Amino acid sequence: MTPPPPEPELRPHTYDGIQEYNGRLPNWWLWTLYAAILFAIGYWSWYQWLRLGLDGPARVTRQLDEIEAQKLAESAAAHLDDATLWALSRNPVVVAAGRRTFESNCVACHLPSLRGKSENPAAIGPDLTDQIWIHGGRPTQVLHTVTTGVPVKGMPTWGPILGPQRISEVVAYVMSHHHEGEPIVPAAP
């Protein structure tokens, strides 16, 4: 065999009889280290020294603001006035969407005809097509009733489940069975 090249130098320390060679790291490995150092300097300059980037808390605050803005924009739908809800109740697209939600969630008590106890005395929910209203018959009052529910009687709090948009649609569907200006007869609670 050809004579082998000389062994690399050994480090002086010995642990449990184990010694290590004093070999060099590959240069490409060192370059990843240098690149990481350069990146760290750039990163520190950007965020800590020049403050060009948003720091953590500022970024979180910004994101919370964005979420808040989105929530406010969504709840604008929940702060609809009577006129807007009446307008929505004449829009076939909104009414059709509301009808789908109604048929998924409301027919159990109010029946597909919306007539509830008027159609079947055993039904749980009251008639939504007549002019008698237990919790107020203006569209905003109906919206409030759907959103917060009437827990003592079993009308669920739909707000967190359906969200403002689907609630305004379902109210539009209910109000599509009524006309603006028709009499509202308060019922004995």
Partner 1 sequence: MSAPAPPQPTRATVTTIRADGSRQFLYPADVRGRFSRARRLVAGLFIALYLSLPWIRIGGYPAVFLDVAHRRFHLLGRVFAAQDLWLIFFLISGVGFGLFFVTAMLGRIWCGWACPQTVFLDHVYRRWERWLDGDGVQRRELAAAPWSAGKVGRRAAKHAGYLLISAVLTHLFLAYYVSLPVVWSLVRAAPGAHWSIFVFIALATGALYFNFAWFREQLCIVICPYGRLQSVLTDEHTLTIGYDTARGDCIDCLRCVRVCPTGIDIRQGLQMECIGCAACVDACDEVMDRLARPRGLVRYDSLAGLGGQPTRWIRPRVWLYAGLLAAGATAAALAFASVRPAVLSVSRMIGAPYYFDRDSVRNQILVRLINKRPDPVRFTLTVSGLPPGFVVGGNDRPLELAPLQEDVRLLVISEPRAHFASGAVLVIGADDDRGDRLARPISFLGPGTALP
Report residue 188 as tokens: 């004995």
On whether the CB atoms of residues 134 and 185 are closer than 8 A, the answer is no
Asked if residue 2 binds partner 1 (CB under 8 A), the reply is: yes
State the nearest-atom distance from the C-beta of 57 to partner 1, in Å.
Answer: 28
Per-residue contact string for residues 113-152; x = within reach of partner 1 by CB under 8 A: ---------xxx------------------------x-xx
Alpha-carbon separation of residue 160 from 56, 146, 156 (angstroms): 30, 11, 10
Query: Both ends of the chain: CA-CA distance in Å?
Result: 107
CB count within 10 Å of CB 95 equals 20
Sequential DSSP letters for 9-37: PBPS--BTTB--B-PPPPHHHHHHHHHHH
Query: Quick one: which segment of 11-19, 24-32, 89-97, 177-185 binds partner 1 (CB under 8 A)?
Result: 24-32
163 part of the interface to partner 1, by CB under 8 A: no
Q: Which two tokens stand for residue 135?
A: 């919790």
The single residue among 105, 113, 141, 165 that binds partner 1, judged by CB under 8 A, is 105
Q: Which of 64, 157, 179, 184 binds partner 1 (CB under 8 A)?
A: 157
Please give the residue ranges that form the binding site for partner 1 (CB under 8 A).
1-2, 4-5, 7-8, 21, 23-30, 103-109, 112, 122-124, 149, 151-154, 156-157, 160-161
